Amino acid sequence: MKTEEKVKCPYEKKCGGCKYQGIPYEKQLKEKEKKVRKLLKDYGKPEPILGMEDPYYYRNKVHATYKHMRNGDIAVGRYEESSHRLVPIESCQIEDQKADEVIQTIRKLAKSFKIKIFNEDSGYGLLRHVLIRTGRKTGEMLVVLVVASPVFPSKNNFVKALRKEHPEITSIVLNINDKKTSMILGERNIVLYGKGYIQDELCGYTFRISPHSFYQVNPVQTERLYKKAIRLADLKRKEKVLDAYCGIGTIGIIAADKAKSVIGVELNPASVKDARNNARHNNIGNITFYQNDAERFLNEMQEQNAKADVIFMDPPRAGSTQSFMASAISLNPDRIVYISCNPETLARDLEFFKKHQYTAEKIQPVDMFPFTTHMETVCLLTRRKHLAKAPY
Ligand code: SAH
């Protein structure tokens, strides 16, 4: 464990993103362990949390918002927590450092190219946000310029100037967001340079990630999380596997050569498109992806009396739904590997599984988000043996 602590972040108070700023990393891990033990005490005893060697600069996805100052300068930073007040930030201790440099360069270029910054109140102006994704292993970098209108004056020269200062940029996309919304991205993407997405590697497989797709923000810990999840699934090449809330197909693709077949289900169309491409690119022939609401998809599987031997489920922070879980149980899986980014909703969902004959055999917290209060937890649920048939 790296014991050296950086100086306290100067933006800590105003930004509010890192509740554990100023707290030694070891202590942060203890706090998280305490929290998960308390929340899950009725379901099992969590293993010690898997922490990072170096807990800084881990985020591969960085978002910044720009603002015109009264003196004509442009400020860039993040919104203060639960507000729309901008906190100017030059560099952040948990974000990719190169991405933070690009954000500053765009600030400088926006001024010299006289690009109008979008004003949320008046609805006037062009540049709303910048979103950067980096591939930790591949070194690729995608810059998404979120603008209120597709008419971007001197865009070719802007792209040229940006690439000149940052040859590490592998793609630049214009995203059109002309709605009055707090969502960062609009629907439409126009590729200005490169492929329009990045590729990254996890557990020996290559994944493409488009602007709208979900990708775990901490690639170092993601590998550890996925390896753990797949080990807990204990696959023997004969199982029918379901990867629910599968995003760009990462877990299912990594598990595919250890299983008979895999089905992935995901709501976001951009992620499903990436997932299908990822399967093809990695030569995985025994996986099929469906774009659907996970609950609806599982309800349909239940109606068709379908079965699955192992289910991976990785829902968003709100957790899963009772209807999803009831259908999941009806598929009669031997093992369910629940990957959670919110121990509170995990506790609620484990209660449901406990009542329906599934016991948490192993609970492994993983620190995916150092300096924040968030964490991931992988939980292996197995069907209680004496029950010959599923309760649904
Ligand atoms: N397993 C993936 C993604 C996990 S994040 C990974 O590790 O990268 C959760 C995913 O659930 C997101 O991709 C999100 O788009 C998807 N999602 C959210 N609500 C959903 C729903 N109702 N049905 C299916 N997928 C959903």
Residue nearest to atom 1 of ligand 1 (CA): 246
Given ligand 1 and candidates 61, 214, 265, which is best to mutate, with the most ligand atoms within 8 Å of its CB?
A: 214
The predicted structure's pLDDT at residue 8: 84
Given ligand 1 and candidates 266, 287, 292, 366, which is best to mutate, with the most ligand atoms within 8 Å of its CB?
A: 266
The predicted structure's pLDDT at residue 1: 46
Report residue 271 as tokens: 């992620």
The predicted structure's pLDDT at residue 112: 95
Distance separating alpha carbons of residues 85 and 15, to the nearest angstrom: 10
Evaluated on CA atoms 217, 218, 219, 223, the torsion sign reads negative
Burial 194-224 (b: 16+ CB within 10 A, else e): bebbbbbebbebebbbbbbbbbbbbbbbbbb
Q: What are the DSSP calls for 259-295, one per residue? A: SSEEEEEES-HHHHHHHHHHHHHTT--SEEEEES-HH
pTM of the predicted model as reported, rounded to 2 decimal places:
0.95
Q: Which of 9, 18, 92, 341 is catalytic?
A: 341
The predicted structure's pLDDT at residue 6: 76
8 A C-beta contact, residue 381 and residue 338: yes
Centre of ligand 1 to C-alpha 122, Å, is 34
Smallest Cα–Cα separation from 19: which of 2, 3, 35?
Answer: 35
Centre of ligand 1 to C-alpha 373, Å, is 21
Q: What atom in ligand 1 is closest to the CA of residue 216?
A: 8
SS3 339: strand
Pocket residues: Cβ below 6 A from ligand 1: 214-216, 245-247, 250-251, 265-268, 271, 293-294, 314, 316
The predicted structure's pLDDT at residue 391: 54
As averages over each run of 10 residues, the pLDDT of the chain (392 residues) reads: 69 92 96 98 97 98 94 92 87 96 98 95 95 98 97 96 98 96 95 98 98 97 98 98 98 98 98 98 98 98 98 98 98 98 98 97 98 98 73 54
8 A C-beta contact, residue 198 and residue 170: yes
Smallest Cα–Cα separation from 129: which of 103, 161, 159?
Answer: 103
Residue nearest to atom 18 of ligand 1 (CA): 316
Centre of ligand 1 to C-alpha 178, Å, is 26
Distance separating alpha carbons of residues 57 and 79, to the nearest angstrom: 19
8 A C-beta contact, residue 242 and residue 308: yes
Centre of ligand 1 to C-alpha 249, Å, is 10
8 A C-beta contact, residue 165 and residue 106: no
Centre of ligand 1 to C-alpha 315, Å, is 5
Cβ within 8 Å of residue 19, ≥6 positions away:
371, 372, 373
Report residue 387 as tokens: 């029950």
Smallest Cα–Cα separation from 347: which of 383, 375, 379, 309?
Answer: 379
Residue nearest to atom 12 of ligand 1 (CA): 247
The predicted structure's pLDDT at residue 7: 79
Report residue 152 as tokens: 């971007």
The predicted structure's pLDDT at residue 250: 98
Residue nearest to atom 16 of ligand 1 (CA): 245
- Backbone phi and psi for residue 72, each to the nearest 5 degrees, phi listed first: 95, -10
Distance separating alpha carbons of residues 207 and 333, to the nearest angstrom: 28
SS3 234: coil
Centre of ligand 1 to C-alpha 125, Å, is 33
Active site residue 341: yes
